[in-house]
Structure 1
Amino acid sequence: MTEHLANGTATSSSRRADADLATANRAVLADQLAERLLDEIVAGVYPPDTRLPPEPVLAERAGVSRLTLREAIKDLRQRGVLRVQQGRGTFVNPPTVWAPFDSTVLNARVSLEQGYELAHELTELRRIVERGIAELAAVRRTAADLARMEDAVRTMREAWERKDLDTFSSADVDFHDALLRAAGNTFALTLFHSIDGALRTVRRRTVEENAELAERAIAYHTKIMAAVRRRARKAAGVLMDQHLQETEDFTASLAAASAAHRERVGRAAAPGR
């Protein structure tokens, strides 16, 4: 009897293990499918406000079960990328309503953006938060924090001399990341890490548009680092505010110009013209 119960328990445990493995595999497939659908949306296969193909078609095309497909769609719904209209199907939402702090979705949204509205919004957020970050960094910084800032500024200078815009832009963001780490606020660090990829893309685009502003960034970073080094809290905050105000003004002008261009194109393409 004992042996029978032991065998029965082993069989039951084996079945549970198989079920858990199947669930895990389905979750992995659902994640992969969600990423694939997002890539297709970004590529324009499914533009905003268009309806996705029916479930059976999508599932067969992806080579997954309908259950796995539903999990992938649920994931993208939670991120604001898709919406389900009862009786009509699943539709793609405009990027403006996608989850703002989901790094994967935000990176996809940046790659979709034709203008600079998102770049301007991100710069506004940075200016609001990073003045305080610079002030905290001046109080809490360590020698290791200063070393990271120095390395970022040095890399910016060297990259700018070579006109290596990718490295320059990345080092620019690295400097601000070093300040974040020096500030020691985990909530601010988490917030900015969720938009890190988007910031790097945006910075790369703005560097291409304004070389003077890029050069001034090196000068500002040097001054901010000096203020942080001497623990001059107020000066570090003021310098950061001035630095990001210049960037904010520039991205605002780019956003306005791109919006005006789209409006002109829309009017020209309107019926009757």
Structure 2
Amino acid sequence: MVVTWEALAEMTDQNTRRPEPVSVRPGGDLTSVSRSGLADQLAERLLDEIVAGVYPPDSRLPPEPVLAERAGVSRLTLREAIKDLRQRGVLRVQQGRGTFVNQPDTWAPFDSTVLNARALLESGYELAHELTELRRIVERGIAELAAVRRSDADLARMEAAVATMKEAWAAQDLDTFSSADVDFHDALLRAAGNTFALTLFHSVDGALRTVRRRTVEENAELAERAIELHTKIMSAVRRRARRAAGALMDEHLQETEDFTAQLAAASAARTGTEARGAGGR
């Protein structure tokens, strides 16, 4: 969810008599925020601006009085927002130097808001590869449990997701295709009936949708294979063929993992080449 300063301003406390400051735009889209704006929403807005490049990784935020004045909040509220982002690994405070933005790979891995932001910010494929590794470790077991526990309603959700994938792929609607792909796996999770696994994957759901959209663009063959293997997994789940469902899921995610590993390696190589080139100039 993108939070704008304008949306925060709409939450002005009716009991607040302090006049709101005039909007200013010295470097980012900073507008007034009423004092009643919650610190967590201010933190989310700062995170939005980090993703937008207003404050890139390793950059320093403006001084506290400046940020507080631009946002129209007390310094206490600002400090609470900064503390929130520090605890989530997004910011670090260096005594005597100021507050800096951390590299995305140090951000809290299972904070859904932060992870979604990281997925939007990263240009490489390291996150996509790590998420696929996690999925392969867990989802084979999920598919096996789904084959044992699934209901007719679970099967209907899987069928709807596969049908949407086919239609979207035929229309080359990659956004809908990617979302339906994740929906299929979500249907399996629900069929498995393990609340811990469901909670774990819901914390990475937004990031999965983002990275899936990116990888679909890179490999049409893999996307078509996903439709094929999803169909086979669904058939195994329908037959309650536990071992077959697990093996097919492992095959599916192994192919995806191999591909994301290639993308991540290529991205890292490009980054290294660019860094060496910059160092030689």
Instruction: Return the TM-score normalized by structure 2.
Output: 0.86
Task: Name the structure 2 match of 1:253.
Answer: 262
The residue type paired with residue 66 of structure 1 is R
The question of whether the paired residues in 1 share the 8 Å contact of 2:35 and 2:72 is answered with: no
Alignment partner for residue 191 of structure 2, among 176, 182, 195?
Answer: 182
Matches within 5 A, 1:113-192: 113-192=122-201
Alignment partner for residue 52 of structure 2, among 43, 47, 51?
Answer: 43
The residue type paired with residue 248 of structure 1 is E
Specify which structure has the higher proportion of helix. 1
Kindly report the root-mean-square deviation, in angstroms, between the aligned alpha carbons of the 2 structures: 1.5
Counterpart secondary structure, 1:270: helix
Change over 3 Å in CA distance of 1:106–1:27 after alignment to 2: farther
Alignment partner for residue 194 of structure 1, among 194, 198, 203?
Answer: 203
The whole-number CA distance in structure 2 between the counterparts of 1:152 and 1:28 is 39
Larger Rg: 1
Quote the offset at 1:209 in angstroms: 0.5
Change over 3 Å in CA distance of 1:102–1:204 after alignment to 2: same
The whole-number CA distance in structure 1 between the counterparts of 2:151 and 2:163 is 18
- Using CA pairs under 8 Å that are at least 6 residues apart, name the structure with larger relative contact order, 1 or 2: 1
Task: Name the structure 2 match of 1:204.
Answer: 213
The question of whether the paired residues in 1 share the 8 Å contact of 2:148 and 2:242 is answered with: yes
Instruction: Return the TM-score normalized by structure 1.
Output: 0.88
Quote the offset at 1:46 in angstroms: 1.6
1:181-208 superposed Cα distances (whole Å, 9 cap, x missing partner): 0000001001111111110111111111
Unmatched 5+ residue regions in structure 2?
1-14, 16-33
Quote the offset at 1:86 in angstroms: 2.5
Q: Number of matched residues?
A: 250
The whole-number CA distance in structure 1 between the counterparts of 2:49 and 2:209 is 22
Task: Name the structure 2 match of 1:52.
Answer: 61
Change over 3 Å in CA distance of 1:63–1:26 after alignment to 2: closer
Unmatched 5+ residue regions in structure 1?
1-17, 19-24
Change over 3 Å in CA distance of 1:182–1:28 after alignment to 2: farther
